[in-house]
Structure 1
Amino acid sequence: MKRKMQYCKQLLLVPFMLICFAVQAQESTKILTFEEAMKVGLEQNIALRKNLNQLSALSMQETQSKIDFLPSVSANVQAARQGGQQFQLVEDGFEINNVQANRLSGNLSASVDIFRGLGRLNQIKMADLNYQAQRSAIERSKQQVVFDIAQQYLQLLLDKKLMEISSNAIQDQKNQLERIKGFVLTGLRPQADALAQKATLDQLELSFIETENTYLLDKARLAQTLQLDLLEEYEVSEAFGSASTSLEAYQLSELFELAIQNRSDLQQLDLQRQATNKNIDLLKSNYLPTLSAFYQYGTQYSSLNSLGISEQLFDLYPNNTVGLNLSIPLFSNYVNKSRVATAQVELANSRLDVEDLKRSIFQDVQNAYLNFNAAIKRVEVSESALNSAQEAYKMQNERYAEGIANLSELSIAQQALITAQANLEQAKFTLLFQQTILDFHTGVLQVETLNQ
């Protein structure tokens, strides 16, 4: 009796433990919101981090170009022991002896450029333009990250919707199979209807497996993009904004102008073109003379001298030199001219790059605009098709129950309903896709505008 009681208690513990495990599994599954995905993606993206590192380097170059106006100062100290024939100071003059001597010397020098052909001003402007161009590159990299993650996140939401539709269809078909079996038992329907319904159910279950596999693959791809722990379970939050469907707000000419104003990659190319132009001015400054001022203070000590070290360093040997240095370029073996010619070619190519990108932007915006409008119409048509499919299925279901329609007609109506449901969800997400693409190509894509 006691054994039977223990056995019963163990049986009661099994479902309790299963419930606990299920709750624990749900708690361990991370819910990844769209904002969290964007935050992680912007922090972990390798290309974006490289661009940020490059920005730090360009910032240092910009600072260096400004500090270049200041004088350069250096100090030098040398200590040595010298042996051999040397001049030695005596009362009557100098004499040469073979002696060992300790020597100490030092100097402090400073120089400042007075005129360098406006090269430093052009250097500062070029460094600033390169820095601004890199900031534009970072902004475009951020938009690219947002675009990629939004596409993958939306794809996961679509996969979940398709799985839900497929799961509901399977449940409906199971209920339909049970109803048909009841008809078969009462002789209202032949056994073939039950077998055909079972085949339809198996086909839907196979379709669900494929849809689920697509979801898992897309889920792994998003985890790889965000560099998440591949073994950590997560689910995406279904909270996401809806696309704007106001056609009046999206005219092609206005969108193109908006893209020209906001595309940071176009701004980057234009800033690089300006920097190349300043580089030409910088190279041309090498044709002009340069003028600089310099100052040098030096002193020394020798053990051969009978005076003390402080007297030698501060009284006997100190010397000061102040002067100007004028350098006039006469012939540089065509080095300067060759560099200027190369920079002019780079400038011409950069102008071509700007024009080429503008044409590419127009094509991208045009395609996105047309696809966005088509997506709006697709949603409208899909909604109408779903309403028709629901009415048709309802009618065929009633006719089948009354014995008027056959199973083939009912199956066709069922399949049309499932297809219409899937088409509507795909149309809605396609509209979100196209809205994201349109924002990306016009250069206004931001995290805040996506999840509203």
Structure 2
Amino acid sequence: MNILTKMLVSGVFTSFAVASSYGQGVETISLRQAVDSALQNNLQIKQAQFQSAITDENLKQSKFELYPSLNSSFSANKRFGLYFDQTSGGLVSKGTQSTNTAGGNLSSDISLFSGGRLRNQILQNKALLMSDQSNIEKIKNDLSLSVVNTYLQVLNNMDLIKASEQQLALSNQQLQIAQKNFDVGNNTQADLSQAKAQVATNQLSLTNAQNAFELSLLDLKQLMEMDPQRNIRLETPVIGDLDQIESSYSGYQVYSKAVGNYPDIKVAEYNTQASEYGIKIAKGALYPTLSFGGQLYNNYSNNTYDQIPDPLTNTSTKRKVSFGEQLNRNFGQSIGFNLSIPIFNNYRSRANYNIAKLRYQNAKASEQLAKNNLNKIINQAVQDLKSAIENYRATESAFISSKDAFEAIQQRYDVGLANSIELNTSQTNYNKAEFDFIQAKYNVIFRNKVIDFYLGNPLTL
């Protein structure tokens, strides 16, 4: 690392001077803390977790479909007027009198054959659950990369503030010299005006850098779901020699490692599996279904009487049947099989089967599209890293040259061999070169983190 680069890197450590405006109680946030805070508080992640929990409940319910069902019901009624009493087996007409009835049943049913729909529904829900869980990881990865990018943008703006302050201080020194020379008649009014214009330009650059810093810091707080009024400052990482960053990656090398673990691909693959099971579920509806069930039931009516014959008079008398006797007499049981054969249901089952096959084909296309997009993005990321490194080296060379040129022009200006226009032009070029170099430095760091992201490496600095 050359002396100039070391100077700029070490300057990052002193750039926290801009944080002094926050006052007391400033909290220092590292990149790892920023990422963890975002992952813990982000509402999109929480929504994805809720969706995963819903899918998990659907999976549990589909598993319980394999077990027998058990249901019971009870009823109690008071009836008026004419009606047929099922319990007593007679027509009841008592005018304004009422009849009390009660009943209850307990039933159970289990599916013996359903065309494989129950089993395939379980497998489909498992695939959907894995898709939802992969979607959570996808959101986390995307958010982590956004936090890293914004974190580096804040550090970049902090460096720009420091550079702007140094340039403003230099312009003020030149203004003081120009004022003194003007006072003794060595400079013209135009020279003094040029010096004042340079101070104003650098003051504007400093203001713009401070505004960019505040906005980027606000963006970072929003990503972390943090109160915008909370006072924080960022921990400046130790940045190594950027010339030593690995840049010989190939798109195929990175893609081969990323495609097996990348959440976007996992989501597409599990959705394809779910659609494949959807075909089997829809096909199962074309087959007959067989179930076995049983039932226990009982009824009571206060209108139930027994006819008791009297052999002596050849007549009969009515005896009201008690509640306990009715429960014993009316208690019934039943068991049986139920076979349902689909013959024609207005093309619904066949249409659902055909639609399920089309959804599977669409899911396969989406999966391949996700892989193609990932391949394209990774190859672009590899190229972006190479371009960023080349740009960094070019801006470093331009910065060194413009700095040397400015120092030479300044020395000539001090002895009257250069005018103020030449000096201000040289300083403007020097300022721009320094800004470009700072931005190029953080662009290399970010592009390198993007490659680490696809390789599955930790997002740390």
> What's the TM-score, normalizing by structure 1?
0.85
* Alignment-derived partner of residue 335 in structure 1: 348
1:132 & 1:324 partners in 2: Cα distance?
37
* Alignment-derived partner of residue 132 in structure 2: 134
* Alignment-derived partner of residue 320 in structure 1: 333
Q: Where does structure 2 lack aligned partners over 5 or more consecutive residues?
A: 1-18, 305-319
1:58 aligns to 2:55 (yes or no): yes
* Alignment-derived partner of residue 450 in structure 1: 459
Residues 59 and 241 of structure 1, relative CA distance in 2, 3 Å threshold: farther
Which secondary structure state, in structure 1, belongs to the residue aligned with residue 326 of structure 2? helix
Residue 45 of structure 2 is aligned with which of 48, 73, 87? Answer: 48
* Alignment-derived partner of residue 303 in structure 2: 304
Q: Is contact 1:169–1:418 with CA below 8 Å preserved after alignment?
A: yes
Which secondary structure state, in structure 2, belongs to the residue aligned with residue 432 of structure 1? helix
Residues 117 and 186 of structure 1, relative CA distance in 2, 3 Å threshold: same
1:41 & 1:24 partners in 2: Cα distance?
25
Residue 420 of structure 2 is aligned with which of 394, 407, 419? Answer: 407
Residue 23 of structure 2 is aligned with which of 5, 21, 26? Answer: 26
1:36 aligns to 2:36 (yes or no): no
Q: Where does structure 1 lack aligned partners over 5 or more consecutive residues?
A: 1-21
* Alignment-derived partner of residue 167 in structure 1: 165
Which secondary structure state, in structure 1, belongs to the residue aligned with residue 110 of structure 2? strand
Residues 97 and 228 of structure 1, relative CA distance in 2, 3 Å threshold: closer
* Alignment-derived partner of residue 447 in structure 2: 434
1:388 & 1:351 partners in 2: Cα distance?
55
Of Structure 1 and Structure 2, which has the larger fraction of its residues in helix? 1
1:186 & 1:53 partners in 2: Cα distance?
77
Q: Is contact 1:393–1:414 with CA below 8 Å preserved after alignment?
A: yes
Displacement of 1:416: 2.7
Within 5 A, what are the aligned runs for 1:178-189? 178-185=176-183, 188-189=186-187
What letter matches 1:158 in structure 2? N
2:208 & 2:87 partners in 1: Cα distance?
101
* Alignment-derived partner of residue 110 in structure 1: 108
* Alignment-derived partner of residue 257 in structure 1: 256
Displacement of 1:236: 3.4
Q: Is contact 1:136–1:267 with CA below 8 Å preserved after alignment?
A: yes
Q: Is contact 2:247–2:385 with CA below 8 Å preserved after alignment?
A: no
Residue 78 of structure 1 is aligned with which of 75, 78, 87? Answer: 75
2:405 & 2:391 partners in 1: Cα distance?
21
Residues 302 and 219 of structure 1, relative CA distance in 2, 3 Å threshold: same
Deviations 1:246-276, CA, capped at 9 Å, x for gaps: 123x112111222322221121111111111
What letter matches 2:367 in structure 1? V
Displacement of 1:319: 1.1
What letter matches 2:79 in structure 1? Q
1:376 & 1:126 partners in 2: Cα distance?
47
Q: Is contact 1:88–1:304 with CA below 8 Å preserved after alignment?
A: no
1:286 & 1:88 partners in 2: Cα distance?
38
Deviations 1:190-220, CA, capped at 9 Å, x for gaps: 5543332122111211222222223333333
Displacement of 1:117: 1.3
* Alignment-derived partner of residue 145 in structure 1: 143
* Alignment-derived partner of residue 308 in structure 2: none
2:135 & 2:86 partners in 1: Cα distance?
68
Displacement of 1:89: 10
Query: Matched residues, percent identical?
Result: 24
Displacement of 1:186: 5.3
1:100 & 1:174 partners in 2: Cα distance?
106
Residues 66 and 443 of structure 1, relative CA distance in 2, 3 Å threshold: farther
Residues 88 and 247 of structure 1, relative CA distance in 2, 3 Å threshold: closer
Residues 94 and 283 of structure 1, relative CA distance in 2, 3 Å threshold: closer
* Alignment-derived partner of residue 385 in structure 2: 372
Deviations 1:270-291, CA, capped at 9 Å, x for gaps: 1111111101101111122211
1:317 & 1:268 partners in 2: Cα distance?
58
What letter matches 1:50 in structure 2? Q
Residues 134 and 257 of structure 1, relative CA distance in 2, 3 Å threshold: same
What letter matches 2:166 in structure 1? N
Which secondary structure state, in structure 2, belongs to the residue aligned with residue 287 of structure 1? coil
* Alignment-derived partner of residue 155 in structure 2: 157
1:213 & 1:114 partners in 2: Cα distance?
70
Residues 417 and 25 of structure 1, relative CA distance in 2, 3 Å threshold: closer
Between 1:214-223 and 1:283-292, the stretch displaced more is 214-223
Displacement of 1:238: 2.9
1:145 & 1:287 partners in 2: Cα distance?
45
* Alignment-derived partner of residue 280 in structure 1: 279
Deviations 1:107-127, CA, capped at 9 Å, x for gaps: 100011111111111011000
1:24 & 1:165 partners in 2: Cα distance?
18
Q: Is contact 2:108–2:294 with CA below 8 Å preserved after alignment?
A: yes
Between 1:415-424 and 1:396-405, the stretch displaced more is 396-405
Displacement of 1:401: 2.9
Residues 281 and 89 of structure 1, relative CA distance in 2, 3 Å threshold: closer
1:88 & 1:135 partners in 2: Cα distance?
55
Q: Is contact 2:113–2:289 with CA below 8 Å preserved after alignment?
A: yes
Between 1:39-48 and 1:253-262, the stretch displaced more is 39-48
* Alignment-derived partner of residue 236 in structure 1: 234
Q: Is contact 1:68–1:120 with CA below 8 Å preserved after alignment?
A: yes
The Cα RMSD (Å) is: 2.8
What letter matches 1:299 in structure 2? N
1:187 & 1:300 partners in 2: Cα distance?
121
